[in-house]
Amino acid sequence: MGRGVRPPAPPRGLELACRLRGAVPPREGLLRFVRAVLKELGMPGASLGLLLCGDRSSKSLNRRFRGQDRPTDILSFPALPGRPPRGFDGYLGDLALNWPYVERKFPRFAGSLEAEAGFLLIHGILHLSGLHHDDASQEKRMWLLQNRIFSKTLKEGRHLRFQKKRHAHPS
């Protein structure tokens, strides 16, 4: 690049893809929520990709990348091998949220579908941030942080709001 020309800044926030027919995800609500979670993690300039999918896509991704031949609620695909530093403003990776699965299994973690989805998104973002639950101490640390962020986002009214439309496409 020439002198005085700066490279483009990394994308901030959320890149959203949706494979659900009839579902109208609130892009701005998701973006606001993801930004709030990233801010809580000390990475307000970081970005990630989010796929809203169904059972077929979730099962395929879970089989391909985790060797488990079943759909699941959320999958994370970190772009980095470890924990990004505080203030990180690059790309963290991708999440795949299986919305029909979340609807079927509700309630497990929260009192509304939107809060349940928020709880799962926080969980996925923590995985993108290098946190895991491979042993009891890691699990305790991750759940404590996840619950703290969840409580704070709910208290501040940053929870998600989904439009109530049924999904006609199982992918």
CB atoms within 10 A of CB 126: 21
CA 148, CA 151: separation in Å to the nearest integer?
Answer: 5
Give residue 13's pLDDT.
63
pLDDT band at 110 (very low <50, low <70, confident <90, very high): low
Dist CA 2 CA 50 (whole Å): 34
Q: 111 falls in which pLDDT band (50, 70, 90)?
A: low
Q: What is the mean pLDDT of residues 101-121?
A: 78
Which residues sit opposite 53 in a β-bridge? 98
pLDDT digits (tens, 9 = 90+) for 45-85: 999 999 888 899 999 999 999 999 999 999 999 999 889 98
User: Pick the residue with more confidence: 77 or 108?
Assistant: 77
Task: Delineate the domains of the chain, giving CATH numbers in brackets.
Answer: 13-155 (3.40.390.30)
Q: Which of 58-62, 109-113, 114-118 has the lowest mean pLDDT?
A: 109-113
